[in-house]
């Protein structure tokens, strides 16, 4: 049903009814349970959620990078506008097909949380950038090296020619993440997926990287999906935010709407958990309890087991329907569904 | 790299110095000495009375009366400066003459075994890891464990039997009868290779079983590495990224255990050689001990340990070439 709908023109990527499960020894685990999101040309979508909420899984599935034991449900649709103007249904692409390889890197690039382990330790930084460039651009090896050095320079790495010949373990954490961004951008993608790119960095470096990404986006005009568990970080980069919990989306809206008028108790709790200068001395409020195991997903709203405003007999029966609060702001919560009634 | 090579070479020299002292001590260890043995063999049955003075004369003849450090120095300087391993008393010729041919055979078997082992274990281990859980993977695992489980001498006997009954050719010895005394020629070299491959296969089977499982396990670890996913996310074709990233690292543990393989081969070779009738060093080593022919025993021990130390040296160099992190630690 969802598949018949064509992608709208302003959207670079449109994901509808995405459902992903994993076959494991303990049975089938559903990691992502029917979510929708879209990314507009040149904009940044932030996806926020705790570990295990399915944010990485849902974005890795766009590039078909999930392990062999994963199943993308047949009703799921991931439509992507290629540079050529053609729209492809990513879920229908054959594994290892030429088209998929062209899109991987060349049109959708991915940077990871761990810049150390996402580089191979036995090849130089330059080797790995040149490999990426040669894969996607029609240039000679010498030209690829020039592009690589230029890209290292552009992401703010000093002595790019020297760094080019160095191994990943010879660079600092911040440098490595810059180098990782250089690899991704050297392939000239139209969509950059940043999977917790600043989580392993200290706060000053984190701010520098965020600023760098904002600058590069303005320069190159690409779209970004920014994944993080930190609402404070995402507020600085995203145009729109989706809040995920246990494989479901609980709230979505413009960054301003989510940060200033959060409506879902979960989003409100996440915001409470961010340390703020004007509330020094107060205790930070943590969300009580742990995220439930995906093996025993709660029936109804996934958050009701930890929600302070839980309404027994309502929240634990079925998943709340979306409530439009504004043209862009949607929340999935019975508190708001009731107001409408 | 030059500094690294230099360090390793010095390290190897120091190791060999201590090894040579240990070998010399081992040479001195057996009770009695060659003089008594020589006198016994020469005069037993003749009814001649041997006095302590006669024994001292014999000792002086062979230079056995000198203090140990002096004898050690004479022995080791002969080896290092002139490549002279001393006298083989029982054969009444130089040690070099006695072990010359056999050392080449032993080394030929060692290297052909290592080559067979790595040629099979590395690609097959990588393949098994990529096809993890498939029928081929299980078949390969079972086949390689057979190599672990079957004793080498049994394998040697079976191969001997099969080659005689099915192929009507003897695998025993080094050369077929028609080449045994023939001058060296390409045909003779081929004949030698044909005879080497059988002991190489027998010895390589168990070594392969071990290394194949090592390669497979490392490869499985590396396949889950984020850098592999990262390369895939860059659109690198699957076969290319498998070879470039995980396969290259899967070779490391094999390279770093080359000297273990050499050690294993040296200790298993004598039994296989006995069954196949190969004239190699192991049998000679045992015989020289029984005869108290200590220079022969010392030469063999020294050469075998040197080979193991040398394989270790090669491991280090190969590892440094394969993995840039090694150089960093060595400084």
DSSP sequence for B95-159 = HHHHHHHHHHHHHHHHHHHHHHHHHHHHHHHHHHHHTTTSHHHHHHHHHHHHHHHS-HHHHHHHH
Q: Is residue A81 part of a domain?
A: yes
Using CB atoms, which residue from B226, B235, B324 is nearest to A104? B235
Reading the block at residue A331, the tokens are 């929340």
Query: Is residue B300, in this structure, part of any structural domain at all?
Result: no
Same structural domain for residues B84 and B112?
no
A310 part of a folded domain = yes
Contact yes or no for B328 and A169 at CB 8 A: yes
Say yes or no: A168 and A201 in one domain: no
Assign residue A318 the CATH number of its domain.
3.40.50.300
Specify if A112 maps to a domain. Answer: no
Q: How confident is the model at residue B329 (pLDDT cuts 50, 70, 90)?
A: low
* Residue B55 sits in the same domain as residue B127: no
Do A195 and A143 fall into the same domain? no
Contacts of B231 in chain A (CB under 8 A): 120, 128, 131
For residue B254, tell me if it sits in a domain. Answer: yes
Instruction: Select from B230, B236, B325 the Cβ nearest to the Cβ of A118.
Output: B230
CA distance A165 to A157: 13
Contact B236 A121 (CB under 8 A): no
**Inter-chain CB proximity A121 and B231 less than 8 Å:** no
**Chain A: residue nearest B226 by CA?**
A118
Rounded CA-CA distance B242/B245 in Å is: 6
If asked whether residues B171 and B278 sit together in one domain, one would say yes
Mutant choice from B222, B227, B320 vs A, greatest count of A C-beta within 10 A: B227
Report which secondary-structure segment, H or E, holds A88.
strand A87-89
Does a structural domain hold residue B186?
yes
- What is the secondary structure of A202-263 as a DSSP string? -HHHHHHHHHHHHHHHHHH--EEEEEES-HHHHHHH-SEEEEEETTEEEEEEEHHHHHHS--
Domain that residue A129 falls in: 118-188
Last residue in a domain, options A172, A188, A204: A188
Torsion-angle region of A274 (φ positive above 0: left; ψ -120 to 50: alpha; else: beta) = beta
Asked, for residue B178, whether it belongs to a domain, the answer is: yes
- Residue B278 and residue B193 in one domain: yes
| N- to C-terminal Cα separation, chain A | 28
Please report whether residue A68 resides in a domain.
Answer: yes
CA-nearest residue to B130 within chain A is A68
* Residues A203 and A86 grouped into a single domain: yes
**Rg for chain B, CA atoms, rounded:** 25
Note whether A299 and A244 are same-domain residues.
Answer: yes
**Nearest by CB: A102 against B235, B248, B249:** B235
Report CB contact under 8 Å: A96, B238: yes
Q: Which residue of B has its CA nearest to A136?
A: B235
Domain-embedded: residue A103: yes
> Do A154 and A133 have their domain in common?
yes
Shortest CA distance from A169: residue in chain B: B325
In this structure, the answer to whether residues A81 and A124 fall within a common structural domain is no
Q: Where are the alpha helices (DSSP H) in chain A?
A: 55-60, 98-103, 115-118, 125-136, 141-154, 160-164, 173-186, 203-220, 231-237, 255-260, 265-272, 334-340
Q: What is the pLDDT, as a whole number, of residue A150?
A: 92
Q: Are residues B68 and B132 in the same domain?
A: no
Measuring CA to CA, which residue among B239, B240, B242 is closest to residue B222? Answer: B242
CATH value at residue B218 = 1.10.3720.10
Instruction: Number of A to B CB contacts under 8 A, please give it.
Output: 73
Contact assignment for B235 to A183 by CB distance below 8 Å:
no
CA distance B253 to chain A (A): 15
A308 is a domain residue: yes
Measure CB to CB from residue B230 to each of A96, A112, A167 and give the nearest one. A112
Tell me the pLDDT tens digit for each residue of B166-183.
766 665 666 776 776 777
Question: Is B301 a domain residue?
Answer: no
A213 and A310 part of one domain? yes
Residue B214 lies in a domain: yes
Mean of the per-residue pLDDT values for chain B?
Answer: 84
Which H helix or E strand runs over A87? Answer: strand A87-89
Q: Both A248 and A151 in a single domain?
A: no
Measured between beta carbons, which residues in chain B are less than 8 angstroms from residue A123? Answer: 244
The total number of structural domains that make up chain A: 2
* Residue B171, pLDDT score: 59
Residue B156 pLDDT level (bands cut at 50, 70, 90): confident
Both A178 and A197 in a single domain?
A: no
Q: Say whether both B223 and B320 belong to one domain.
A: yes
Is A26 within the bounds of a domain?
A: yes
The pLDDT value recorded for residue A96 is 83
The CA distance from B219 to B223, in Å, is: 6
Whether residues B195 and B261 fall in one domain = yes
Question: B63, B96, B129: which is the final residue of a domain?
Answer: B96
* A113 inside domain: no
- With a cut of 50, list the residues of chain A below it in pLDDT: 1-3, 340-341
Do the strands A11-24 and A70-72 form a parallel or antiparallel pair, or are they unpaired? antiparallel
**Residue numbers in B near A110 (CB within 8 A):** 230, 233
Looking at A159, A188, A217, the residue that finishes a domain is: A188
Q: Which residues of A touch B (CB under 8 A)?
A: 63, 65, 96, 101-106, 109-110, 112, 114, 117-123, 128, 131-132, 135-136, 167, 169-170, 183, 187
Residues B254 and B144 in one domain: yes
Q: Do residues A127 and A176 both lie within one domain?
A: yes
Instruction: Specify the range with the lowest mean pLDDT, choosing from A110-124, A202-216, B36-50, B113-127.
Output: B36-50
Do B36 and B111 lie in one domain? The reply is no
- Judgement on whether residues B85 and B138 belong to the same structural domain of the protein: no
Q: Are residues A184 and A259 in the same domain?
A: no
Tell me: do B236 and B115 sit in the same domain: yes
Task: Give the number of other CB atoms < 10 A from CB of residue A95.
Answer: 8
Same domain, B130 and B228: yes
In contact, B195 and B175? CB cutoff 8 Å: yes
Nearest Cβ partner for B323 among A112, A117, A122: A122
Q: Between helices B281-290 and B95-130, what is the axis angle to 10°?
A: 140
Q: Convert the pLDDT of each residue in B239-292 to its tens digit.
A: 899 999 999 999 999 999 999 999 988 888 888 888 888 877 888 888 888 777
Domain boundary among B61, B96, B131: B96
Q: Tell me if B234 and A131 make a contact (CB, 8 A cut-off).
A: yes
Q: Does any domain span residue B190?
A: yes
Distance from CA of B225 to the nearest CA of A (A): 7
Of A155, A170, A188, which marks where a domain is finished? A188
| Window B:181-240, CB contacts with A under 8 Å | 225-227, 229-238
Q: How far apart are CA A58 and CA A48, in angstroms?
A: 12
A96 contacts in B (CB within 8 Å)? 237-238
Interface residue of A23, A118, A167 to substitute, partner B, most B CBs within 10 Å: A118
Number of structural domains (chain B) is: 2
Domain boundary among B96, B131, B155: B96
Residues of A in contact with B324 (CB under 8 A): 121-122, 167
Do both A205 and A314 map to the same domain?
yes
**What range does the domain containing B37 cover?**
2-96
Q: Which residue of A has its CA nearest to B319?
A: A122
Give the best residue of B234, B236, B245, B325 to mutate against chain A (max A CB count within 10 A).
B234
Q: Is B299 inside a domain boundary?
A: no
Residue of B235, B237, B319 to mutate, testing the A interface (most A Cβ within 10 Å of its Cβ): B235
Contact: B230, A114; criterion CB under 8 Å:
no
């Amino acid at each position: 049903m969802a598949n018949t709908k064509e992608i709208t023109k302003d959207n670079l990527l449109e994901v509808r009814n995405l459902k992903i499960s994993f076959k494991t020894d303990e049975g089938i685990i559903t990691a992502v349970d029917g979510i929708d999101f879209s990314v507009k040309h040149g904009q940044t979508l932030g996806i926020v959620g705790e570990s295990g909420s399915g944010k990485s899984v849902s974005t890795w599935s766009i590039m078909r990078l999930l392990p062999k034991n994963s199943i993308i449900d047949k009703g799921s649709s991931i439509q992507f506008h290629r540079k050529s103007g053609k729209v492809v249904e990513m879920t229908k692409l054959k594994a290892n097909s030429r088209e998929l390889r062209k899109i991987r890197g060349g049109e959708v690039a991915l940077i990871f949380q761990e810049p150390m382990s996402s580089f191979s330790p036995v090849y130089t930084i330059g080797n790995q950038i040149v490999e990426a460039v040669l894969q996607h651009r029609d240039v000679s090896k010498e030209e690829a090296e020039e592009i690589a050095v230029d890209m290292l320079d552009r992401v703010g790495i000093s002595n790019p020619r020297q760094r080019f010949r160095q191994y990943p373990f010879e660079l600092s954490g911040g440098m490595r993440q810059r180098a990782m961004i250089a690899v991704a951008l050297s392939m000239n993608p139209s969509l950059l997926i940043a999977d917790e790119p600043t989580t392993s960095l200290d706060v000053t470096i984190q701010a520098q990287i965020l600023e760098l990404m904002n600058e590069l986006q303005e320069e190159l005009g690409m779209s970004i999906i920014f994944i993080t568990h930190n609402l404070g970080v995402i507020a600085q980069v995203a145009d729109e935010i989706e809040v995920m919990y246990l494989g479901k989306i609980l709230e979505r809206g413009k960054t301003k709407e989510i940060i200033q008028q959060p409506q879902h108790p979960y989003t409100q709790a996440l915001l409470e958990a961010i340390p703020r200068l004007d509330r020094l001395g107060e205790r930070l409020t943590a969300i009580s309890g742990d995220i439930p195991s995906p093996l025993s997903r709660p029936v109804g709203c996934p958050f009701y087991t930890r929600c302070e405003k839980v309404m027994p007999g309502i929240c634990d029966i079925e998943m709340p329907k979306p409530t439009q609060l504004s043209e862009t702001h949607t929340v999935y919560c019975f508190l708001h569904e009731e107001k409408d009634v | 790299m030059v500094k690294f090579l230099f360090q390793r070479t010095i390290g190897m020299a120091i190791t060999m110095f201590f090894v040579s002292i240990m070998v010399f001590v081992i040479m001195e260890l057996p009770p009695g000495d060659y003089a008594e043995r020589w006198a016994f063999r020469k005069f037993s049955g003749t009814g001649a009375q041997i006095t302590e003075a006669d024994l001292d004369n014999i000792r002086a003849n062979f230079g056995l009366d000198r203090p140990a450090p002096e004898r050690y120095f004479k022995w080791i300087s002969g080896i290092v400066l002139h490549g002279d391993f001393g006298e083989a008393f029982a054969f009444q010729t130089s040690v070099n003459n006695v072990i010359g041919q056999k050392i080449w055979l032993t080394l030929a078997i060692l290297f052909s075994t290592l080559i067979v082992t790595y040629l099979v274990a590395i690609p097959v281990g990588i393949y098994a890891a990529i096809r993890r859980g498939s029928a081929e993977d299980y078949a390969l695992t079972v086949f390689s464990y057979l190599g672990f489980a079957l004793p080498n001498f049994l394998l040697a006997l079976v191969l001997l039997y099969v080659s005689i009954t099915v192929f009507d050719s003897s695998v025993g010895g080094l050369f077929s009868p028609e080449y045994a005394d023939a001058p060296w020629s390409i045909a003779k070299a081929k004949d030698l290779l044909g005879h080497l491959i059988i002991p190489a296969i027998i010895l390589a089977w168990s070594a392969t079983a071990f290394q194949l499982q090592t390669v497979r396990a490392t490869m499985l670890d590396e396949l889950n590495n984020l850098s592999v996913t990262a390369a895939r996310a860059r659109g690198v074709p699957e076969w290319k990224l498998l070879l470039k990233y995980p396969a290259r690292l899967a070779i490391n543990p094999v390279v770093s255990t080359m000297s273990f393989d050499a050690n294993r081969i040296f200790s298993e070779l004598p039994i296989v050689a006995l069954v196949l009738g190969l004239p190699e060093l192991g049998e000679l080593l045992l015989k020289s001990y029984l005869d108290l022919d200590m220079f022969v025993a010392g030469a063999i021990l020294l050469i075998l340990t040197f080979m193991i130390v040398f394989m270790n040296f090669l491991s280090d160099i190969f590892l440094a070439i394969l993995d840039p992190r090694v150089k960093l630690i060595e400084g």
